[in-house]
A and B are shown apart, each in its own frame.
Chain A
């Protein structure tokens, strides 16, 4: 009698303890994995304005700083320099916008006006004015960003690139 009562108490205590532990731990795990469920650091603008069309001379790559805002958990950082891009305005007023980072190892590439090519100083990568790889170790052409022009304003989609 006494033994079966204790047996029951043991099982019941285990069950209660297990339920309690699960009830306490579940929300704690839910809270801990929050960064896996939700982005915590992100840009607030889809298309970022980088200037007016006339700011970019035709046929001459211009290095431009990208300024936008970033959400970092609870904080918003405005007027933040996000990076730079090379902007090339073509004859027909359409634009090519390339990342300044070489697709090889991310060094900053320069425009060589004399040879009219993009040159990477790290491993001698060479790209033409349309971003196509000419020589060097890079696995691909320059990264380029989607652009659009609204009211003569140049906007680039800094978040995604091809």
Chain B
């Protein structure tokens, strides 16, 4: 039956003949491991296509919904993080493999007559890959993609005469917005793939026409006499390589937890943009091309390099494949490669040393995880950024920056007259305070409390006890709390500080429920209360803050340390109750009406 069906189809389509012709392609000189890169790229392209197609069924291309839809894919579906991770790292793998393929082709001299067009179609394919990377980076509409792509579109703008128009055409307007996403989306999922398939078709057809170019050491006899069939000799090698690529990709995705999703794009922020790693060399080059020379880095150098690649088969006309006879071209290509590697290394090295960038990365990571937590309660239709509008931490930070930062420093920013709030309320912060309250980081010379002269372990015990009273310390160690309690109550602390009774007054602040939500609120409202600093107080009272604002400031303070849980996080996630479409009377009636 199956045979008959097969024959029927064969008679009408000639499919198996076609397949046989494709598979029986003779590989002159024998199947080789050095030929696997091209087919590896085809595999990766198929992988990118299928993962991309499935992801489009989750993606929503608009400035208000893009981030939310990617968030949903990443965090709310079972396999979304994996599929997106494969797609993300798959793009890097393609770029690496494309370069390896290109260099292999170059070294083997496979671009020489009659394969010039094969090489040129390959250069087009490389350009298309870069286009994929550039357009795909923006689609999640997160901070990283948004700001890095700004750089790219601004570079377009530096092209003389037409730059301005090209930029507007890509952005879909004078600034970023809905049309930027729809245009990049169209490029990424329709125009670039179609163009890639077109050039890939030419590339493979030409490869089939001219056959492989073996290593220059292979003698003419071997090339003529040794012929392996493409199937299964070469395909087996290709399959091993494809499995290897996929296993490596899956490994990277599991190891890294998938592709990053930063906080939603905030046009008002001052994010330091960095492009994807394969564009870093261009980015670094721009640093050396300032002012009027900007165009050298943005247009002239890349254009010259590209022009060189395009004309390479026409200027290297010596038919010999021996590298020693092609020394100038090897020199040119490999010095280009060395330049790219050097620039990339410089860019990475610079960023790893720059404290502002390190801080910003930490901040971005924190904001990203905050955004994910807030988004789990649902994103208002106004868009990704709106999750922050009702977020107490966000509001608290705003108030802190308006009212507190003049005296209190946070991560190197702010005044120096009052305790530094970097990591405020963490074990490390409190232990440091106990150890040396007169440190510049805490009260300085104005501090009245003497340093606690106890071994470090005991200081950590007291810290654990003090913070355990706040009700939101994470990973409490009960043994430490017990030991700390004993030390604090029976030792010197209790001479000056009251414990266990909120109303009691002594010379130093009452530490009952120290750094808890209520303690902080009462303190901020009136630090000069005799329960706190009394007459020694220097901090202004913030009694004009509304309840909501005060709550926000306290949440922000909690958020400064990793040891404390946020109050809002203790609430349950948005709970699901009933399901639309399954329980409404109308749906059931419709169903009954049809049956």
> Given known contacts A32-B54, A106-B586, A160-B578, is B242 in contact with A75 (CB within 8 Å)?
no
> Given known contacts A10-B232, A42-B580, is B378 in contact with A106 (CB within 8 Å)?
no
Question: How near does chain B come to A109, taking the closest CB pair, in angstroms?
Answer: 11
Would B585 and A42 count as touching, CB distance under 8 A? Answer: no
For A45, give its contact among B243, B577, B585, B590 (CB under 8 Å): B577
For B68, give its contact among A42, A75, A139, A143 (CB under 8 Å): A75
Would B576 and A44 count as touching, CB distance under 8 A? Answer: yes
Q: Which residues of B in the span 346-398 have a Cβ within 8 Å of any Cβ on A?
A: 375, 377-381
Is the C-beta of B240 less than 8 angstroms from some C-beta in chain A? yes
For A42, give its contact among B239, B240, B381, B576 (CB under 8 Å): B576
Q: Which residues of A in the span 103-146 have a Cβ within 8 Å of any Cβ on B?
A: 103-106, 139, 143
Contact residues in B for A64 (Cβ distance below 8 Å) = none
Would B79 and A74 count as touching, CB distance under 8 A? Answer: no
Indicate the member of A30, A31, A159 with the most B CB atoms within 10 Å. A31
Would A28 and B83 count as touching, CB distance under 8 A? Answer: yes
Would A101 and B50 count as touching, CB distance under 8 A? Answer: no
Question: How near does chain B come to A91, taking the closest CB pair, in angstroms?
Answer: 27
Q: Which residues of B in the span 95-138 have a Cβ within 8 Å of any Cβ on A?
A: none
> What is the 8 Å Cβ interface bit string for chain A, positions 2-34, against chain B (1 contact, 0 not)?
000010011011001101100111011011101
> What is the 8 Å Cβ interface bit string for chain B, positions 214-242, against chain A (1 contact, 0 not)?
00000000000000010111011001101
Closest to A161 in B: B585
Is the C-beta of B57 less than 8 angstroms from some C-beta in chain A? yes
Would A16 and B240 count as touching, CB distance under 8 A? Answer: yes
For A43, give its contact among B50, B375, B580 (CB under 8 Å): B580
Docked pose: A105 CA to B246 CA in angstroms: 54
A-B contact pairs, 28 of them (CB 8 A): A9-B232, A10-B232, A12-B232, A13-B231, A19-B243, A24-B50, A24-B246, A28-B50, A31-B58, A31-B78, A31-B80, A31-B83, A34-B78, A38-B76, A39-B576, A41-B579, A42-B578, A43-B577, A43-B580, A46-B578, A71-B378, A71-B574, A74-B69, A76-B377, A76-B378, A76-B379, A103-B585, A159-B583
Give me the interface of A with B, judged by CB distance under 8 Å. Answer: 6, 9-10, 12-13, 16-17, 19-20, 23-25, 27-28, 30-32, 34, 37-39, 41-46, 69-71, 73-78, 83, 99, 101, 103-106, 139, 143, 158-161
5 extra A-B contacts, CB within 8 A, seeds A46-B575, A106-B585: A9-B236, A20-B239, A23-B246, A74-B375, A105-B589
Contact residues in A for B69 (Cβ distance below 8 Å) = 73-74
> Given known contacts A6-B233, A103-B589, is B76 in contact with A74 (CB within 8 Å)?
yes
Is the C-beta of B51 less than 8 angstroms from some C-beta in chain A? yes
Docked pose: A74 CA to B65 CA in angstroms: 9
Q: Which residues of B in the span 18-75 have a Cβ within 8 Å of any Cβ on A?
A: 47, 50-51, 54, 57-58, 65, 68-69, 71-72
Give me the interface of B with A, judged by CB distance under 8 Å. Answer: 47, 50-51, 54, 57-58, 65, 68-69, 71-72, 76-80, 82-83, 86, 229, 231-233, 235-236, 239-240, 242-243, 246, 250, 375, 377-381, 574-581, 583-586, 589-590, 592-593
Would B242 and A20 count as touching, CB distance under 8 A? Answer: yes
Closest to B381 in A: A75
Indicate the member of A32, A34, A70, A101 with the most B CB atoms within 10 Å. A34
Contact residues in B for A160 (Cβ distance below 8 Å) = 578, 583
Contact residues in B for A78 (Cβ distance below 8 Å) = 380
Contact residues in A for B250 (Cβ distance below 8 Å) = 23
For A24, give its contact among B47, B236, B381, B590 (CB under 8 Å): B47
For A74, give its contact among B72, B82, B246, B576 (CB under 8 Å): B72
* In the A-B complex, the 7 residue pairs with the closest CB atoms: A159-B578, A76-B378, A74-B68, A9-B232, A30-B79, A16-B239, A74-B72
Contact residues in B for A74 (Cβ distance below 8 Å) = 65, 68-69, 71-72, 76, 375, 378-379
Would A13 and B576 count as touching, CB distance under 8 A? Answer: no
Would A44 and B577 count as touching, CB distance under 8 A? Answer: yes
Question: How near does chain A come to B87, taking the closest CB pair, in angstroms?
Answer: 11
Would A44 and B575 count as touching, CB distance under 8 A? Answer: yes
Closest to B54 in A: A28
> Given known contacts A73-B72, A103-B585, A103-B589, is B579 in contact with A42 (CB within 8 Å)?
yes
Would B586 and A27 count as touching, CB distance under 8 A? Answer: no
Would A39 and B593 count as touching, CB distance under 8 A? Answer: no
> Given known contacts A13-B236, A31-B78, A32-B54, is B380 in contact with A75 (CB within 8 Å)?
yes
Docked pose: A142 CA to B243 CA in angstroms: 61
Would B577 and A42 count as touching, CB distance under 8 A? Answer: yes
Closest to B589 in A: A106
> Given known contacts A13-B239, A41-B581, is B77 in contact with A31 (CB within 8 Å)?
yes
Docked pose: A96 CA to B375 CA in angstroms: 37
Contact residues in A for B68 (Cβ distance below 8 Å) = 73-75
Contact residues in A for B240 (Cβ distance below 8 Å) = 16
Contact residues in B for A31 (Cβ distance below 8 Å) = 54, 58, 77-80, 83
Contact residues in B for A45 (Cβ distance below 8 Å) = 577
Contact residues in B for A41 (Cβ distance below 8 Å) = 579-581
> Given known contacts A23-B250, A42-B579, A75-B65, is B78 in contact with A30 (CB within 8 Å)?
yes
Contact residues in A for B379 (Cβ distance below 8 Å) = 74-76
Would A76 and B576 count as touching, CB distance under 8 A? Answer: no
Would A76 and B79 count as touching, CB distance under 8 A? Answer: no
Question: How near does chain B come to A76, taking the closest CB pair, in angstroms?
Answer: 2
Docked pose: A59 CA to B403 CA in angstroms: 57
Closest to B387 in A: A76
Question: How near does chain B come to A99, taking the closest CB pair, in angstroms?
Answer: 5
Contact residues in B for A23 (Cβ distance below 8 Å) = 246, 250
Question: How near does chain A come to B140, taking the closest CB pair, in angstroms?
Answer: 13
Would A9 and B233 count as touching, CB distance under 8 A? Answer: yes
Would B54 and A158 count as touching, CB distance under 8 A? Answer: no
Contact residues in A for B239 (Cβ distance below 8 Å) = 12-13, 16-17, 20
Docked pose: A99 CA to B76 CA in angstroms: 33
Indicate the member of A20, A25, A103 with the most B CB atoms within 10 Å. A20
Docked pose: A106 CA to B66 CA in angstroms: 36
Docked pose: A139 CA to B375 CA in angstroms: 44
> Given known contacts A16-B239, A74-B68, A75-B380, is B589 in contact with A101 (CB within 8 Å)?
yes
